[in-house]
Structure 1
Amino acid sequence: MSLRIYNTLSGKKEEFVPIRANKVGMYVCGPTVYDTSHIGHARSVVVFDMVYRWLMQLGYEVTYVRNFTDVDDKIIKKSNETGDSCTAITTKYIDEFHNEMDALNVLRPTIAPKATEHIDHIIRFVQRLIDLGKAYHVEGGDVYFSISSFSEYGKLSHRNPDDMQAGARIAVDEKKRSPLDFTLWKPAKPGEPYWDSPWGKGRPGWHIECSAMSYEYLGESFDIHGGGKDLIFPHHENEIAQSEASFGVPFVKYWIHNGFVDINNEKMSKSLGNFTMIKEVLADYSPEVIRMFLLSKHYRSPIDYSENSMREVSVALDRIYGFLERLDKAGITPPDAAGGEHGPLWADIVEALNDDFNSAKAMAEIFDAVKKGNKLLDDANDAPGESDRKVLAGIYADIRSASEILGIFMICAADYFAAKKDRAMADQDVDSAMIDALIVERANARKSKNFARADEIRDQLQAMKIVLEDGPQGTTWRIE
């Protein structure tokens, strides 16, 4: 099965055929760096990281561009409120963003351009639109794109410009020819950052930044443009208009948009005060739990963040690492998947990811394989025969291969549980020596057939969220 992608432009899944053989150009809208990033930002970044990884797995040479919007009204407002320069603010939050994404095991894109480093490219792009009669300069320094010059305006969002215009209100002093015309360049107000341009001192509008930067690195046409669903209109619709009006060729072949993150079944919004910042989530959960949560639903579907959902994901991740730990203890090692050796699970994972990057289905296949693998180990009392060992090694190899795409299950199982135990002990102020002493006492009680005391100790530890696991080599413990 070849890769199929749901294209927002056509509203259906399409077979992926890149513009240039074996090469993929992908542009994803990055953050406006005026504040700490929230879990909604993380979903978009992690989703497109998975897309990037899968495209490379399929053998494509991918040029992945993810920008930073570092000149914007919100940044200027923050500067006025804090007294910090715009550059100081954007540098701070770009560094913070990189640190958080690195923690979430997100690969760096090929290029991460900043709008402020491409002002000349933006000015040339705007001038081209003016020269083509697609944009106009008005007194005062504003430059607007004329949507009447682009007959296909609305094709991405499936909106009718006539309907939109009928419902629009024009301010008395409006200088636009149409209320739907949007800003390409705006004059600077006193105290704001500005750049010299043919239309006076000013700064670019938001939409033109992405068109100019994508053109600089990916050309007039490229394969994939991504971002959150909230960007479909007006941002991506306006990108299409100004780019296709400028060059007369299709701007992007496949448009991919991820769904929103809700918080406790409510839309995340500042008015509700339920924005959850990435650094807050990282303080409470391991990066792999967060990644697994963000990929646990199909990327186009909404996903609900709550303590309960994160707890469920944490338990599920423990189950997979618990299985891998059993394989390690049984001396089962995966064959060399890099050499093309895979088990039957891999075909199911490939099918899932080729079906519009269905990470949720891929994970379901992994859980099913883990369940079957655990049964094989249970039936063999963790000492499987040669035939079962081969099956288990294949599952191991396929999970390791999937880890390179999902960015999960990437560490040694023993290290995973050790880190989890250390983190929980620090959070809950658990005394490991005391727990080990209770486990020894429980073992002695069982030997002397004092089962009441043994059960009492287990209940005591369970109340502390300590889970005991009895095995042939003795009793181990972990924290829920």
Structure 2
Amino acid sequence: MREIHLLNTLTGKKEKLETLEPNHVRMYACGVTVYDNCHLGHAMQAVYFDVIRSYFEYCGYRVTYVRNYTDVDDKIINRAQERGISPKQLVDAMIASSEEDMALIGVRPANHEPRVSESIPQIITMIQALVQKGYAYANAEGDVYYRVLKKSDYGKLSNRKIDELRVGTRDLVAGDKEFDMDFALWKHDETEGASWDSPWGRGRPGWHIECSAMAKMFLGATFDIHGGGRDLVFPHHENEIAQSEAANGCGYARYWMHSGLLTINKQKMSKSLGNHIMIKDFIARFPGEVLRLAYLQFHYTSNVDFSEQVFRQAARRLLYFYESLQDLDRLAADAPLQEKLVPGFDPRALVEAFHHEMSNDFGTVGAMRELLQGFRRANELRQGKKTPAKCFTAKAYVQTLRELFGVFGLLRMEPQAFISQLKLQILKEMNLAESEVNRLIQARNEARQNKDWAKADAVRQELLQLNIEVMDTPEGTRWTILWKDDEA
């Protein structure tokens, strides 16, 4: 089994992964609160942890992955009331929408995707354990709170003392808590369709206890990895640790992984700013693989700033990958069953370089750089005379590149269909019609037939000005959208 190191937020150090059960990774990531459609911030975390899961599997680990749905929340209740529907009707529609969004960007379903509303008995049981151990208390109104001061190491995930964490907080329900930082485990509520009977009266769970109970249901009291966005370190994940360790009497997650935050043109996504990009809106412009590639050009811990330039660059790069794959497929089609590799060309070195980057805290940036170099190296096989050894080597590269890109959820489509689709979408972004490209190519071909080389060169230059490159092949004239090395 390959050795993997990851950055553990809990210790602030990069550590070797040592799973509780040999060759089995048990991993939990916080899912979405389903009151609206998913946006690019949700997609970013989902893609990163999807790739992390895939790399574990590629290395031979069995992975049990849990990603929850928060379907009980103030925002859900308010949105349902605004629409004149029940909370369940809203969450059912939003979960279906989320599943559709994740499929569009190639994110596989988790092994378990529990809903809070289906986990109420387990949540109540955990709260009862906390009350019995003196870590929680109920007030006269039927709310239950966690005693923060009773947990001596509270704040260990964010590496801050309680006095530091209190700065900027406010007492939302003054007078009914022993200490202003005590957080709700159960809230008195009688909202129809979003409340349940409990030992403390009708109500619903607090936000933090939900994940603790659902993680325990599917992964056990202690498991390997807990993930989420950096904005969840405090208070959500800090509170998860406190209540889980107190209730279960043992450690919670051994490794904590946090992805960075997303901005658009250096501004936080906000509906008021008009930069709140929903996944469905992005997919109307680009294939889902473009979004995945855009994320993977950044390390999962990085704060990512998206712009039109980033999207277009990712689209052009993906076009280069698919076109290269198509050309290599043609060369590989003539490969003999047995042949030696061309000297100096060995895709096994690419596999090792990929592992070198990915086993070091899932370094997608360096891994993508290696894959790019792999394509450039493989494309050298297309130069000069075709030989059996070149065809055999091209086939080996094609198999390796598809395998490694598959870990990233990329290059999974049939090249020609994807290329045609992507070209049309990129041309649209360039405000250039395909008919205009075809008109110029036809004019160039006619000039070449008439041996009017000056006109043919002039038309070629005109196409280059439009970032369109033409190539004359035995199968006829092909064109692509110019992809520049300085964007690599």
Task: Give the conservation status (yes or no) of the 8 Å contact 1:343–1:394.
Answer: no
Deviations 1:439-461 (A, max 9, x none): 34422312323134324444555
CA drift of 1:392 comes to 3.2
User: In 2, distance between residues paired with 1:29 and 1:222?
Assistant: 15
Distance 1:363 1:335, change over 3 A: farther
- Counterpart of 2:85 in structure 1: which amino acid? D
- Counterpart of 1:367 in structure 2: which amino acid? L
Which residue number corresponds to residue 211 of structure 1? 212
Q: Does 1:261 align with 2:266?
A: no
Task: Give the conservation status (yes or no) of the 8 Å contact 2:350–2:371.
Answer: yes
CA drift of 1:270 comes to 4.2
Which residue number corresponds to residue 194 of structure 1? 195
Task: Give the conservation status (yes or no) of the 8 Å contact 1:458–1:468.
Answer: yes
Map residues 438-453 of structure 1 onto 2, 5 A cutoff.
Answer: 438-453=440-455
Distance 1:376 1:84, change over 3 A: same
CA drift of 1:479 comes to 5.3
Question: For 1:111, what is the secondary structure of its paired residue?
Answer: coil
Task: Give the conservation status (yes or no) of the 8 Å contact 1:185–1:205.
Answer: yes
Distance 1:318 1:426, change over 3 A: closer
Map residues 25-424 of structure 1 onto 2, 5 A cutoff.
Answer: 25-165=26-166, 168-170=169-171, 173-188=174-189, 193-332=194-333, 343-378=348-383, 380=384, 383-421=385-423, 423=425
Question: For 1:343, what is the secondary structure of its paired residue?
Answer: helix
User: In 2, distance between residues paired with 1:16 and 1:373?
Assistant: 34
User: In 1, distance between residues paired with 2:104 and 2:170?
Assistant: 46
CA drift of 1:423 comes to 4.7
Q: What's the Cα RMSD here?
A: 2.5
Task: Give the conservation status (yes or no) of the 8 Å contact 1:25–1:224.
Answer: yes
Task: Give the conservation status (yes or no) of the 8 Å contact 2:335–2:388.
Answer: no
Task: Give the conservation status (yes or no) of the 8 Å contact 2:25–2:61.
Answer: yes
Task: Give the conservation status (yes or no) of the 8 Å contact 1:467–1:479.
Answer: yes
Q: TM-score, normalised by structure 2?
A: 0.90
CA drift of 1:309 comes to 0.7
CA drift of 1:320 comes to 1.4
Distance 1:334 1:159, change over 3 A: farther
CA drift of 1:385 comes to 3.2
User: In 2, distance between residues paired with 1:363 and 1:95?
Assistant: 32
Task: Give the conservation status (yes or no) of the 8 Å contact 2:88–2:193.
Answer: no
Instruction: Judge which range, 228-237 or 445-454, deviates more.
Output: 445-454
Deviations 1:408-463 (A, max 9, x none): 0112322221222455678869465x755653442231232313432444455557
Question: For 1:253, what is the secondary structure of its paired residue?
Answer: strand
User: In 1, distance between residues paired with 2:198 and 2:399?
Assistant: 57
Task: Give the conservation status (yes or no) of the 8 Å contact 2:332–2:394.
Answer: no
Task: Give the conservation status (yes or no) of the 8 Å contact 2:381–2:390.
Answer: yes
CA drift of 1:464 comes to 6.4
Question: For 2:153, what is the secondary structure of its paired residue?
Answer: coil
User: In 2, distance between residues paired with 1:247 and 1:172?
Assistant: 28
- Counterpart of 1:295 in structure 2: which amino acid? L
Task: Give the conservation status (yes or no) of the 8 Å contact 2:286–2:425.
Answer: no
User: In 2, distance between residues paired with 1:23 and 1:224?
Assistant: 11
Q: TM-score, normalised by structure 1?
A: 0.92
CA drift of 1:274 comes to 2.0
- Counterpart of 1:371 in structure 2: which amino acid? R
User: In 2, distance between residues paired with 1:289 and 1:51?
Assistant: 18
Unaligned runs of 5+ in 2: 338-345, 483-488
Aligned length, in residue pairs: 472
Question: For 1:64, what is the secondary structure of its paired residue?
Answer: strand
Distance 1:171 1:294, change over 3 A: closer
- Counterpart of 1:263 in structure 2: which amino acid? I
Deviations 1:316-374 (A, max 9, x none): 111211211221222358999xxxx9521011111111111111111100111222222
CA drift of 1:470 comes to 2.0
CA drift of 1:165 comes to 3.9
User: In 1, distance between residues paired with 2:382 and 2:202?
Assistant: 71
Unaligned runs of 5+ in 1: none
Task: Give the conservation status (yes or no) of the 8 Å contact 2:87–2:193.
Answer: no
Instruction: Judge which range, 159-168 or 467-476, deviates more.
Output: 159-168
User: In 2, distance between residues paired with 1:423 and 1:402?
Assistant: 26
- Counterpart of 1:446 in structure 2: which amino acid? R
- Counterpart of 2:368 in structure 1: which amino acid? M
Deviations 1:373-392 (A, max 9, x none): 223423x2xx4434444443
User: In 1, distance between residues paired with 2:133 and 2:378?
Assistant: 64
Distance 1:107 1:192, change over 3 A: closer
CA drift of 1:212 comes to 0.5
Task: Give the conservation status (yes or no) of the 8 Å contact 1:264–1:306.
Answer: yes
**% of aligned pairs identical?**
39
- Counterpart of 2:449 in structure 1: which amino acid? K
Task: Give the conservation status (yes or no) of the 8 Å contact 2:298–2:365.
Answer: yes
Task: Give the conservation status (yes or no) of the 8 Å contact 1:76–1:192.
Answer: no
Question: For 2:444, what is the secondary structure of its paired residue?
Answer: helix
